[in-house]
């Protein structure tokens, strides 16, 4: 089979840009390998429902891990649901629970504010 | 991953087979040059006149429990998805291939051969349908403010009224922009389908997955005879010029992931259980 010519990105200006970026966009690959392709019942049954939940969570995370890290989003690294390597933040030893709670509160509030801001921005386009 | 280690210790590691795809025949030397899941070359499992291309998949990593855990690990998932896709893409460059969905694992090569024999007629028909063809993707993104906006009526009223009127006009414009973009997506898809052997509209990717600045209104996949590729590329360009309200992006060639099912995939994110 002859190798088809290089693909291109076509923009409205009529400008044609070379494409076929390597490596391909992770989102494009994931939607194909997770949702499409022939389903052959293997011996190892991993519930596809679990994978769907994963893609939903992924979509909440961000385009790619690297992009997310670059803009400082890394909370999934401490989310056991998303990372089997997740570890709780290192604590030097037993601490006064009240002090821990007092330190935690502003962080949680900041995180919630960030999330709300993101959701608002998200809804603006998708709503 | 201490639990993985315990599982491995409790049960000797058995080598399973991770299925990448099915082809008519495969040159063993060519397969030796394709790196599989863990970097080792992929292997051929021949049965029923077909060849399954597999990676050796130790069950302490790819068995049911470890696999479920690993799929929830973003880094593992990304590595697995890319490795699997690279193998399928390498096969597609050599000839028709039926790509397997991610994480299709059999306990040994004999079980892979049984699957080939059981699905032989369907696999052969699919390979025939895919010969000399490839999959291309066309995505369309909303271009904010590109649709014709109703002129803002000048009128009397105070600052508050003016603000409310302006705000309402903005919301209306956004609504109209969305509708215009959706209509354009319909037209573009219909036009592309006329040139393609088959076309599918998949659920638009979320912006967080697409990484795009605006929402996706078209996520199309098209199976093309390779002979019409130049015409198809030109058509995408012409459609982009005709519809400034959406930005079109052409990607490909892709292995025919979207065209291996008997029936068109649902245009939603529904994932079906394996039978």
HEC per residue, B181-230? HHHHHHHHHHHHHHHCCEEEECCCCCHHHHCCCCCEEEEEEEEEEHHHHH
pLDDT reported for residue A77: 53
Question: What is the distance in angstroms between the Cα of A13 and the nearest Cα belonging to chain B?
Answer: 7
Quickly count: other Cβ atoms within 10 Å of residue A49's Cβ.
11
B216 touches chain A (CB under 8 A): no
Q: Where are the beta strands (DSSP E) in B72-128?
A: 98-99, 105-106
Of A9, A54, A67, the CB nearest to B211: A67
Query: What residues contact residue B61 under an 8 Å CB cut-off, 6+ apart?
Result: B4, B67, B70
- pTM of the entire predicted model: 0.70
Domain boundaries, chain B: 2-131, 134-256
pLDDT reported for residue B46: 96
CB B255 within 8 A of CB B126: no
Mean pLDDT across B169-198: 92
* Distance set, CA B109 to CA A6, B16, B19, B20, B191 (Å): 36, 7, 10, 13, 44
CB A15 within 8 A of CB B240: no
Q: Does the structure show a pLDDT above 60 at B259?
A: yes
pLDDT reported for residue B170: 84
pLDDT reported for residue B126: 96
Quickly count: other Cβ atoms within 10 Å of residue B78's Cβ.
18
Give the least confident one: A80-84, B22-26, B244-248. Answer: A80-84
Q: Is the CB of A37 less than 8 angstroms away from the CB of B254?
A: no
pLDDT reported for residue B163: 87
- Sheet with B133-142, edge to edge strand ranges: B198-201, B216-225, B133-142, B246-254
Of A31, A48, A83, the CB nearest to B205: A31
pLDDT confidence band for A98 (50 / 70 / 90): low
CA A36 to chain centre: 19
Q: Round the average pLDDT of chain B to a whole number and report it.
A: 86
Q: Does the structure show a pLDDT above 70 at A9?
A: no
Mean pLDDT across B235-257: 95
Report ipTM for this prediction: 0.79
Of B74, B132, B250, the CB nearest to A8: B250
pLDDT confidence band for B153 (50 / 70 / 90): low
Write out pLDDT tens, residues B20-60.
Answer: 999 999 988 999 999 999 999 999 999 999 999 999 999 99
pLDDT reported for residue B155: 61
pLDDT reported for residue A40: 79
Give the least confident one: A21-35, A86-100, B62-76, B248-262. Answer: A86-100
pLDDT reported for residue A115: 55
Q: Does the structure show a pLDDT above 50 at A126?
A: no
Query: In this structure, which CATH number among 1.10.3720, 3.30.70, 3.40.50, 1.10.260 belongs to the domain B134-256?
Result: 3.30.70
Q: Round the average pLDDT of chain A to a whole number and report it.
A: 53
Highest mean pLDDT: which range of B15-19, B166-170, B210-214: B15-19
Question: What is the distance in angstroms between the Cα of A124 and the nearest Cα belonging to chain B?
Answer: 10
Give the least confident one: B70-79, B135-144, B220-229. Answer: B70-79
pLDDT reported for residue B44: 96
Phi, then psi, of B56 in degrees rounded to 5: -65, 130
pLDDT reported for residue A17: 35
Minimum Cα–Cα distance from B122: chain A residue: A38
From the number of C-beta atoms within 10 Å of its C-beta (0-12, 13-18, 19+), residue B38 rates as middle
Q: Which comes out higher in pLDDT, residue B145 or A87?
A: B145
Mean pLDDT across B65-88: 87
Neighboring chain A residues of B127 at a CB cutoff of 8 Å = none
Measure the CA–CA gap between B98 and B259, rounded to whole angstroms: 9
């Amino acid at each position: 089979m002859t190798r088809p010519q290089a693909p291109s990105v076509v923009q409205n200006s009529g400008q044609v840009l070379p494409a076929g970026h390597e490596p391909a966009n992770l989102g494009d690959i994931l939607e194909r390998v997770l949702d499409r392709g022939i389903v052959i019942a293997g011996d190892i049954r991993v519930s596809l429902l679990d994978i769907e939940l994963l893609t939903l969570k992924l979509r909440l995370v961000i385009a790619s891990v690297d992009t997310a890290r670059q803009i400082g989003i890394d909370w999934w690294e401490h989310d056991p649901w998303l990372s089997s390597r997740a570890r709780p933040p290192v604590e030097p030893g037993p601490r006064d629970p009240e002090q821990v709670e007092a330190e935690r509160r502003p962080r949680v509030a900041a995180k919630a504010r960030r999330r709300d801001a993101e959701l608002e921005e998200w809804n603006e386009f998708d709503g | 991953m201490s639990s993985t280690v315990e599982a491995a210790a409790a049960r000797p590691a058995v080598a399973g087979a991770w299925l990448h795809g099915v082809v008519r025949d495969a040159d063993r030397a060519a397969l030796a040059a394709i790196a599989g899941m863990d970097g080792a070359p992929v292997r051929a499992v021949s049965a029923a006149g077909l060849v399954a291309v597999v990676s050796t998949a130790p069950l302490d990593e790819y068995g049911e429990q470890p696999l479920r855990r690993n799929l929830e690990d973003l880094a593992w998932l990304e590595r697995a998805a890319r490795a699997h896709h690279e193998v399928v893409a390498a096969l597609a460059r050599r000839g028709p291939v039926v790509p397997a969905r991610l994480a299709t694992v059999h306990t040994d090569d004999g079980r892979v051969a049984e699957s080939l024999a059981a699905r032989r007629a369907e696999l052969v028909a699919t390979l025939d349908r895919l010969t000399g063809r490839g999959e291309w993707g066309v995505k369309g993104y909303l271009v904010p403010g590109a649709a014709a906006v109703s002129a803002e009526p000048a009128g009397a009223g105070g600052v508050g009224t003016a603000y409310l009127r302006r705000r309402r006009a903005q919301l209306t414009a956004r609504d109209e922009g969305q509708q215009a973009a959706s209509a354009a997506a319909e037209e573009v898809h219909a036009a592309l389908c006329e040139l393609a052997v088959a076309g599918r509209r998949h659920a638009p990717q979320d912006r967080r997955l697409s990484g795009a600045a605006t929402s996706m209104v078209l996520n199309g996949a098209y199976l093309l005879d390779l002979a019409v590729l130049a015409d198809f590329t030109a058509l995408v360009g012409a459609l982009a010029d005709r519809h400034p309200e959406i930005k079109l992006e052409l990607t490909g060639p892709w292995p025919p992931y979207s065209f291996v099912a008997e029936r068109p995939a649902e245009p939603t994110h529904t994932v079906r259980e394996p039978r």
